[in-house]
Amino acid sequence: MESTSTPVAQLAGAGKRFGATRALHGLDLALHPGQVTALLGANGAGKSTAVGLLLGLLAADAGKVRVFGQAPGTPTVRRRCGAMLQSAGIPERLRVGELLALVRAGYPAPRSVADCVALAGLDGLLARRYGALSGGQQRRVQFALAICGRPRLLCLDEPTTGLDIDARQRLWTAVRELVAEGSTVLLTTHYLEEAEALSDRVAVLDDGRLIAEGGIDEIRARVAVRRIRCVCPLPAETVAQWPGVLEVVREGEALRILAEPAEPLVRRLLERDPGLRELEIRRAGLADAFLALTRPALPEAA
Ligand SMILES: Nc1ncnc2c1ncn2[C@@H]1O[C@H](COP(=O)(O)OP(=O)(O)OP(=O)(O)O)[C@@H](O)[C@H]1O
């Protein structure tokens, strides 16, 4: 979904250095109202730095950062933002109910405690001390604190790391509800199925640079990686040596191959094995596309 609306938040040519490390190089990124944008990238690619700039926790040393048309991090802007960060810095001695009360008090029209409990899955946890909770329970509390102020902009930095399957699904449902209410979400994640399930747009960072940005289908379409399956007796080790082949797995009679692009490989397979059967070629998923975008260039396929 391309958006022509005024962005809720925008990084324009944003740069950030930490000493000799250039964490971000001239990043352009716009978050549009009511959309979920997934910011993807390997460890150290610059995702949390981008989130830090948007929240005003870090100052850009090049370019411009605007949130609701203003400088980030001012009290007015903060009252419209919620965030779940990797390092939470939450006082461990406080009880969950006390934490919620404190954070809700900072917002003009906070969500009810009952709503927060339901959305974040905090049943039975309000009277517990934060420091005594399990890692997954603490993540759920962090999510509740991020959403309790009905933020118009919600930044979720790897929100489901450490959550069990049930809690992850619940968080996805909650994010969808918030978006339906009109929130704009920036999500960083290493789980590409999460980006696929939740986001409208994807931005891929590599070493501090934006290397791809667009709707999920656009990103998938941008890479020529294909998943190929066929019944064929050729040894997987032989096929693995061919140009353009990224991965080969034998499954009984079948070979499962990841290749970019597919056509030269299929021609070669048919030349070597005219009896090849049950040929299937599927387009890449987001995970395949992400790997193709971020890996070093391959030799040209023959
Ligand atoms: N406070 C800091 N001091 C020094 N270097 C930093 C600091 N914060 C980030 N960096 C460096 O900036 C680069 C980008 O880091 P960032 O945390 O933004 O990456 P990331 O994409 O969020 O990674 P991850 O997936 O591991 O969370 C890395 O090289 C990191 O080491």
pLDDT digits (tens, 9 = 90+) for 160-182: 988 999 999 999 999 999 999 99
pTM: 0.82
Atom of ligand 1 nearest to the CA of 51: 18
Confidence tier at 301 by pLDDT (50, 70, 90): very low
Domain ranges in the chain are 9-221, 223-294
For 73-123, the DSSP string reads TSHHHHTTEEEE-SS----TTSBHHHHHHHHHTTSSSPPPHHHHHHHHT-T
> What pLDDT score was predicted for residue 12?
96
With a Cβ cut-off of 6 Å, ligand 1 is lined by 18, 21, 23, 41, 43-49
What percent of the chain stands above pLDDT 90? 76
- The winner for highest mean pLDDT among 15-19, 40-44, 261-265, 286-290 is 15-19
What is the Å distance from ligand 1's center to 197 Cα?
Answer: 26
**Whether the Cβ atoms of residue 239 and residue 248 lie closer than 8 Å to each other:** yes
**Whether the Cβ atoms of residue 32 and residue 184 lie closer than 8 Å to each other:** yes
- Give, for ligand 1, the residue of 16, 24, 43, 155 to mutate: max count of ligand atoms closer than 8 Å to Cβ: 43
Mean pLDDT of the chain: 91
The closest alpha carbon to 166, from 127, 115, 120, 114, belongs to 120
User: What average pLDDT does the segment 208-217 reach?
Assistant: 90
pLDDT digits (tens, 9 = 90+) for 234-284: 999 999 999 989 899 999 999 999 888 899 999 999 999 999 999 999 887
What is the Å distance from ligand 1's center to 44 Cα?
Answer: 5
Question: Whole-angstrom Cα distance, residue 129 to residue 124?
Answer: 12
**CATH architecture of the domain covering 223-294:** 2-Layer Sandwich (3.30)
Q: What is the CATH number of domain 9-221?
A: 3.40.50.300
Backbone angles phi, psi at 296, to 5 degrees: -60, 155
